[in-house]
Amino acid sequence: MPVRSSFLRTAAGCALTPLALCLSHAVWAQAESGRALSTITINASADASAEGLKAPYAGGQVARGGRVGVLGNQDVMDTPFSQTSYTQELIQNLQATSIGDVLKQDPTVRVARGFGNYQQLYIVRGFPVYSDDMTYNGLYGLLPRQYLAAELVERVEVLRGANAFVNGAAPGNSGLGGSINVMPKRAPNEPVTQVTVGAESGLQGYLAADIARRFGPDQSTGLRLTAVHRDGDTAVDREERELSLVSLGADWRSRNVRVSADIGYQKHVLRHARPSVTPSATAIPRAPDSDSNYGQAWTNSTERDVFGSVRAEVDLSDQVTAWLAAGARQGKERNNLVGVTVGDAAGNATGSRFANKRQDDIATGEAGVRANLSTGSVRHELVASLALFNAKEHNNYAGSLASTSTNLYQPTQTAEPALDYSFGDLENPHVTGRTRTRSLALADTLSFVNDTVRLTLGARHQNIVSYGYDYSTGVQSGDAYDKGRWSPLAGLVFKASKQISLYANYAEGLVRGDTASGNDASGNPLENQGQVFAPAVTKQAEVGAKFDMGRVGATVAVFQARKPVGAVVGSVFVGSAYKQRNQGIETTFFGEPVRGLRLLGGLTYLDTDIRGQAAIGAPKWQGNAGAEWEVPGVKGLSLNGRLNYTGKQYADLANTLQVRSWTTLDVGARYTLPVGQNLMTLRGSVTNLADRNYWASVGGYPGANYLVQGNPRTFVVSATFDF
């Protein structure tokens, strides 16, 4: 296992030094002031809030609540939304390698892939959430764009439904059906020194370290270092993956001030990766053998990201708290890809080479204030927030006119064709896009009748500015897109008892509106060529119930969302020519009904309609059922299993191409035992136990119908040493 230890040591040292010096200086300066420090109760907080993260629910797999955008961390029983927050304990026990591995546990989410590349993409309520539209501690754009290592995060939080008010419009134009937020790690009260080694099918090797300490007066300063390296072949034939990650999280607090910061570096490399498959217009090809690789050996994808953030919170009084957050990321990508388009039932396929180089420069920030006050018997939780986002994209691409050829069932290799055309310099890409958003959010949560009724009213004004540039010359093309809109929120929670909360909400999703371009059906230029449309609004209504029985929790939600779809009507482009309607019912369950038996799962029914037809890649039924059992009489041993089901999906808007439903079974075991004065935890798992051949997803990018094959049977083993 080629572990690049020199890289890890160097990167860790570079990340650690400046933050450690700054935090040590802050602690030293406070001590030098001559004032005695009062006792501080430490509650390590990823978001610099006084209360910290919500506690884990019974069983430890999910938390009792999570971040609700601008409304902050809240208990799940208090919010008018459907939400699940997956804990670091679950992430580690899953041996998850990516955020996608974590979200595969969620019965309301399915993992897909970006258009033309290997970007992870998440489908929530039939709408995509791009991985670069995830939030990091509440801020957009800071995470690596295509793939995020699971070791980076403490929590993975899924908020279902339209969320333009709570999070602001996603800069990448996704997130209409939900949002995904990840929370960084912090040093807990007890020291952590943990080393994990592991391997998986294909001789993929793995080494990780997780080190945390608190120090200074009253242990008010914390540092947590995470370093990960994995390298080698995967379970897919001849596919190679390499990942290196180093991150440092720091926090410091006094009586009324809390500060947290993060810095991270991730490099992710794929070689000879299995591509997506575009079906013919007449039939869906049979899924090949699960470990088959019909990609070309010369394809590759490399992504490097450096990112960081800082968040501070200060109590201005017992009732008023102000906060400030900022972050930045520079991401660099280089791709040499070829897609696969199937031409016949025999699996004969062609493709064309596509190469590009991309760089993203992101800066984002948020400032706000929260206040608690009472008017008579009504308690108010007021919040005001201003958020800014700025992104600059450098990009170029080149391609080949020559075709590659292969066969899905008997793959062949083609020599790498020369690049015949290009748009921009592949070594020095021009700026090809700029996006700026700014928003102001205001909300009041009113509590009545001893907090048994909670009414949240809010609105966010979002302004979206976007510039396009010619790929070859870097010259701005056309006028800037500059539009804005208010996004309201109304949410009601009724606590029928300590065990039952009923809720309802009206919320909206927001994406940049279309610009009329192209020709009509006769080939003539559109009459309204260049017309810029206002931001497109998705309107959602939802009702639901939440149950907390002490050791078992559950949710049920019924929702409907309507999204406008632009199209050419006659010789004019219409920004809202028709509507896409997604409606459905979601249920989730979690907890530990009896000691030693942990449950996690649920079921989703989704009905989509676009002019009388179902949407592409939106199964009517999907669900998960997972259980973990501590074996009686064998201390430290537990067994687990998870059943995954996804119903049939359509691969065209006419609903003539249908992808079959699929079911997979994953199993695993964990055994913890003492080794001298320390503990060792052995973990093993097998995903897709029956080695099922299946198409896991259809499309993801709106209107596209490419197929992504499910992973083969994969064995993963690891040993974690706690020192």
pLDDT tens digit string along 637-682?
999 999 999 999 999 999 999 999 999 999 999 999 999 889 999 9
pLDDT of 298 higher than 50:
yes
The one-character DSSP state at 131 is G
pLDDT classification of 16: cutoffs 50, 70, 90: very low
pLDDT classification of 554: cutoffs 50, 70, 90: very high
Question: Tokens standing for 314?
Answer: 């200060």
Report pLDDT digits (tens) over 49-86: 888 899 999 999 999 999 999 999 999 999 999 999 99
pLDDT of 10 higher than 80:
no
Residue matched to tokens 């907090």: 451
Distance from C-alpha of 171 to C-alpha of 689, rounded to nearest angstrom: 39
106-110, 284-288, 699-703: least confident range:
699-703
Distance from C-alpha of 491 to C-alpha of 507, rounded to nearest angstrom: 8
Reported residue count of the chain is: 723
Counted domains in the chain: 1
- Helix (H, G, I), strand (E, B), or coil: what is residue 88? helix
- Residue 50 has a pLDDT of 81
Distance from C-alpha of 212 to C-alpha of 191, rounded to nearest angstrom: 6
Sign of the alpha-carbon torsion through 697, 113, 487, 66: positive
- Residue 44 has a pLDDT of 57
Mean pLDDT for the stretch of residues 582-608: 98
pLDDT of 6 higher than 50:
no
Distance from C-alpha of 230 to C-alpha of 207, rounded to nearest angstrom: 6
Question: Tokens standing for 626?
Answer: 């997972």
The one-character DSSP state at 474 is -
- Residue 702 has a pLDDT of 87
21-30, 280-289, 466-475: least confident range:
21-30
Residue matched to tokens 């009113």: 446
Report pLDDT digits (tens) over 18-57: 333 333 333 333 333 333 334 444 555 667 788 889 999 9
* One-character DSSP codes across 396-416: EEEEEEEEEEEESSS----PP
How high does pLDDT run on average in the chain? 92
- Residue 3 has a pLDDT of 36
Residue with the bigger pLDDT between 623 and 132: it is 623
Percent of the chain at pLDDT exceeding 90: 85
Q: Are 66 and 75 in contact (CB under 8 A)?
A: no
Phi-psi group of 178: left, alpha or beta (phi > 0 → left; psi -120 to 50 → alpha; rest → beta): left
Report pLDDT digits (tens) over 160-171: 999 999 999 999
Return the bridge partners of 553, or none. Answer: 548, 590
Report pLDDT digits (tens) over 88-98: 999 999 999 99
- Helix (H, G, I), strand (E, B), or coil: what is residue 17? helix
pLDDT of 11 higher than 50:
no
pLDDT of 565 higher than 60:
yes
Q: Is 308 exposed, middle or buried (0-12, 13-18, 19+ CB in 10 A)?
A: buried
pLDDT of 704 higher than 70:
yes
Mean pLDDT for the stretch of residues 109-135: 94
- Residue 23 has a pLDDT of 33
Count the neighbouring beta carbons within 10 Å of the beta carbon of residue 715: 14
Distance from C-alpha of 566 to C-alpha of 575, rounded to nearest angstrom: 4
Question: Tokens standing for 705?
Answer: 């119908």
Give the CATH number, domain containing residue 162: 2.40.170.20
Distance from C-alpha of 170 to C-alpha of 122, rounded to nearest angstrom: 14
- Residue 327 has a pLDDT of 98
- Residue 17 has a pLDDT of 35
pLDDT classification of 530: cutoffs 50, 70, 90: confident
Mean pLDDT for the stretch of residues 133-143: 96
Distance from C-alpha of 123 to C-alpha of 113, rounded to nearest angstrom: 10
- Residue 24 has a pLDDT of 35
Q: Are 302 and 268 in contact (CB under 8 A)?
A: yes
Mean pLDDT for the stretch of residues 152-165: 97
Q: Are 639 and 662 in contact (CB under 8 A)?
A: no
Residue with the bigger pLDDT between 702 and 328: it is 328
Return the bridge partners of 206, or none. Answer: 198, 230
Q: Which of 627, 611, 707, 709 is nearest to 667 (CA)?
A: 627
Residue range(s) defining the domain that contains residue 546: 5-722
Report pLDDT digits (tens) over 253-267: 999 999 999 999 999
Mean pLDDT for the stretch of residues 559-574: 94
Amino acid identity, residue 62?
Answer: V
Amino acid identity, residue 467?
Answer: Y
| Main-chain dihedrals φ then ψ at residue 497, nearest 5 degrees | -165, 180
Q: Are 64 and 55 in contact (CB under 8 A)?
A: yes
Distance from C-alpha of 134 to C-alpha of 146, rounded to nearest angstrom: 11
Q: Which of 227, 102, 203, 62 is nearest to 152 (CA)?
A: 227
Distance from C-alpha of 37 to C-alpha of 39, rounded to nearest angstrom: 7
Q: List Cβ neighbours of 285 (8 Å cut-off, separation of 6 or more).
A: 277, 279, 342, 345, 347, 408, 707
Distances from the Cα of 453 to the Cα of 159, 458, 494, 503, 657, angstroms: 21, 17, 5, 10, 48
Mean pLDDT for the stretch of residues 201-226: 95
pLDDT of 480 higher than 50:
yes
Report pLDDT digits (tens) over 412-433: 999 999 999 999 888 889 999 9
H-helix or E-strand spanning residue 166: helix 164-167
Q: Are 381 and 370 in contact (CB under 8 A)?
A: yes
Amino acid identity, residue 426?
Answer: L
Q: Are 645 and 622 in contact (CB under 8 A)?
A: yes
Ordered strands of the 109-113 beta sheet:
109-113, 120-124, 127-130
317-331, 465-479, 558-572: least confident range:
465-479
Mean pLDDT for the stretch of residues 114-137: 94
Return the bridge partners of 181, or none. Answer: 135, 157
Percent of the chain at pLDDT exceeding 70: 93
Cα 702-703-707 angle, rounded to 5 deg? 95
Distance from C-alpha of 621 to C-alpha of 605, rounded to nearest angstrom: 5
H-helix or E-strand spanning residue 500: strand 500-511
